[in-house]
Amino acid sequence: MNQAPRPGDTDVVLFVRSLGHRIAGGTRAVLARANLYASLGYRTSLVVTGLLDDDGAWARSQDLLHPDVRLLVLWRDGPDAVDRARASETAPITVPRIPDGPGVRRRRRTVDDAVQVRTFVDDALRTIELLDRDTETTRQLVVMREDGSRAAQWMFAHGTLVAVDHLVPGGGTRRREFVVDGRAVWLEAEVAGHVGEGDARLRLREEPVGDYAGAIARWLDTTFASAEHLVVFADGENVWQRSLRLMRHPRLRGVSVLHNSHLAAPYTAAAPTHSGWKGFFSDTTNVDVMVCLTQRQHSDLLARYPGLPLRVLRHAAPRPKVRGVRRDPDSVVFIGRLAPQKQLDHLLRAFVLVRERVPRAHLDVYGTGKDEAALKELAAELGLELGVDVRFHGGTAQALHAFAGSRVAAMSSLHEGLPLTLTEAMSVGTPFVAYDCNYGPAEVIRDGENGFLVPRDDVEALADRLVQVLVDDKLARRLSRGARRVVTSFSARRYKESWRDLLAEVAGRESSSSQTIARS
């Protein structure tokens, strides 16, 4: 190993999908790392592969993004001078808006910080347009088919068209067209699935680039062509992992980070590897280190793939900055995606049992996702009154405040990595009751000391432990004190040192990995 290069001589690249007002735990973890490296003097770039229409202004205003972190946005920075020159010779793309006329009517309503305009033709919904509430510029336009399904989604930044998704009936596959200057499609890609294997081509050049991940890899190779030292972090089981492996930069070093379980159903240690991860474990081209967040996952992976360059590095618990929040002694809180992995139906059924024994209790749910409507319907079917017994608050940018305002937090997931919500809740003294699923909860929760672990899928046991915390003030105070100790066991100092040392080690390697590991 060579001596590590100086931070100022090293480019560090990380990926996020977007930087909207509802930033999930995985994105927060990436931002924390980007901010750390920027503060240490590394030339740090954050690659945004989704839509970003405010140039990161909101994230910076919330102190989520270090001022020295450079943003690279695929739709904005991907087209080069040749693409822009060719696009300038074409007329702007016509947006399919419906003009006023017979049978046309529009309904307007405010949705969060935007205005939604639904256009009907002869009582059939044809378009849904989202406008900026202050400027009335278009953010998004959804075009409907005659059968009521979505045909296409047009996306805008500062009122200019930047991308169009063409949707296949039934969901799943979509063809995305990236638009330069509102005039021409410069990149067309099939973005079905999450690893970026669909066909892609540069339309203005009539040039194939393999697939979507390959297009991103090619862009980054070009963007960082002059980099003396380049370290790329790919987080999650997605297109970024494949892009890292497809890059051909001669001075590239790579770090692959797992945020979730690598297991498929039934998510036990003996379960098969999830299809989204199989290829990434067998092909470690450009991957010098693969990071998992828990010791248990590390052991399971080594047993299955003995040659993986594995390392365990964990998140840090935040130093709480919450002031003036009153803890509601009757509140059970959940924060996370409203998605099948979280098994919120289990939590709702457990809460019915809780309410039978603690009638004053209520469940506060923070998050958004495709299961929201079904969960609200289930809550009603179970006899839980929406807005009283169960309150769906939508997404929140103030997770610590939500946790600090509740007596106990709950998690009923099928599987996890090491979700930030565990340490966030405990940092403000809110104990957790969680299923003992692979892998995260047991890494943080000490049963009976700072919360409770219950067998996965045991709804009654989940309810019993929640009731204990709600009715026993002495127990709740003891668990709360234990929970606050997470800021020591998951200290910010240890986090900074471990991720700093990892980057220095990888950047100083003489050559990067390029190998294929056979499955054991």
9-62 pLDDT tens trace = 999 999 999 887 777 778 888 999 999 999 999 999 999 998 887 888 888 988
Stretch 375-401: mean pLDDT: 93
Domain boundary among 283, 312, 341: 312
Decide: 184 and 203 in contact? Cβ < 8 Å: yes
Q: Is residue 157 part of a domain?
A: yes
pLDDT of res. 517: 38
Give tens-digit pLDDT for 222-271: 999 999 999 999 998 789 999 999 999 999 999 999 988 899 999 888 89
CA distance 442 to 271: 19
Closest CA to 178 of 195, 192, 161, 193: 161
Considering only residues 498 and 439, tell me which one the structure prediction assigns the higher pLDDT.
498
Q: Which residues pair with 451 in a beta bridge?
A: 432, 447
Neighbours of 462 (CB within 10 A): 27
Residues 407 and 459 in one domain: yes
Residues 339 and 470 in one domain: yes
Give tens-digit pLDDT for 435-477: 999 888 998 999 999 999 999 999 999 999 999 999 999 999 9
Q: What is the CATH number of the domain that holds 40?
A: 3.40.50.2000
Closest CA to 5 of 498, 495, 506, 497: 506
Give the three-state DSSP class for 287. Answer: coil
Q: Is residue 465 part of a domain?
A: yes
CA distance 434 to 436: 6
Q: Is residue 217 part of a domain?
A: no
Instruction: Tell me the H-state helices in 358-458.
Output: 372-381, 399-404, 420-427, 441-444
Residues 395 and 474 in one domain: yes
CA distance 486 to 418: 14
CA distance 1 to 362: 56
Q: Is residue 339 part of a domain?
A: yes
Domain boundary among 312, 344, 367: 312
Q: Please tell me the total number of residues recorded for the chain in this structure.
A: 520
Residues 373 and 431 in one domain: yes
Domain boundary among 149, 171, 203: 203
Residue burial 396-405, b: 16+ Cβ < 10 Å; e: rest: eeebbbbbbb
Q: Degrees (nearest 5) of the Cα angle 432, 27, 215?
A: 145
Share of the chain above pLDDT 90, in %: 71
Decide: 454 and 298 in contact? Cβ < 8 Å: no
Neighbours of 423 (CB within 10 A): 24
Q: What is the CATH number of the domain that holds 183?
A: 2.40.128
Residues 302 and 341 in one domain: no
Q: Sorting pLDDT into bands at 50, 70 and 90, what band is 411? A: very high
Q: Is residue 136 part of a domain?
A: yes
Residues 376 and 476 in one domain: yes
Predicted TM-score (pTM) of this structure: 0.85
Residue 67 burial class via C-beta count within 10 angstroms: exposed 0-12, middle 13-18, buried 19 and up: exposed
CA distance 121 to 124: 5
Q: Is the pLDDT of residue 185 over 90?
A: yes
Q: Is residue 96 part of a domain?
A: no
CA distances from 450 to 138, 406, 430, 453 (A): 48, 15, 8, 10
Q: Sorting pLDDT into bands at 50, 70 and 90, what band is 519? A: very low
Q: Is residue 186 part of a domain?
A: yes
Which range (117-126, 137-146, 217-226, 264-273) has the least confidence?
A: 264-273
Give tens-digit pLDDT for 60-89: 988 889 999 999 999 999 999 999 999 999
Give tens-digit pLDDT for 287-317: 999 999 999 999 999 999 998 999 999 888 8
Give tens-digit pLDDT for 371-381: 999 999 999 99
Residues 248 and 307 in one domain: yes
Indicate the average pLDDT of the chain.
91
Closest CA to 229 of 80, 497, 48, 41: 41
Residues 337 and 482 in one domain: yes
Q: In what order do the strands lie in the sheet with 289-292?
A: 70-73, 43-48, 10-16, 229-235, 252-257, 289-292, 310-312
Residues 356 and 458 in one domain: yes
Q: Which residues pair with 11 in a beta bridge?
A: 43, 230
Q: Is residue 196 part of a domain?
A: yes
Q: Structurally, how many domains does the chain consist of?
A: 3
Considering only residues 376 and 207, tell me which one the structure prediction assigns the higher pLDDT.
376
Residues 168 and 264 in one domain: no
Residue burial 282-306, b: 16+ Cβ < 10 Å; e: rest: bbbbbbbbbbbbbebbbebbeebbe
CA distance 177 to 182: 11
Residues 375 and 461 in one domain: yes
State the residue range of the domain holding 65: 7-77+224-312
pLDDT of res. 173: 66
Residues 156 and 288 in one domain: no
Decide: 44 and 12 in contact? Cβ < 8 Å: yes
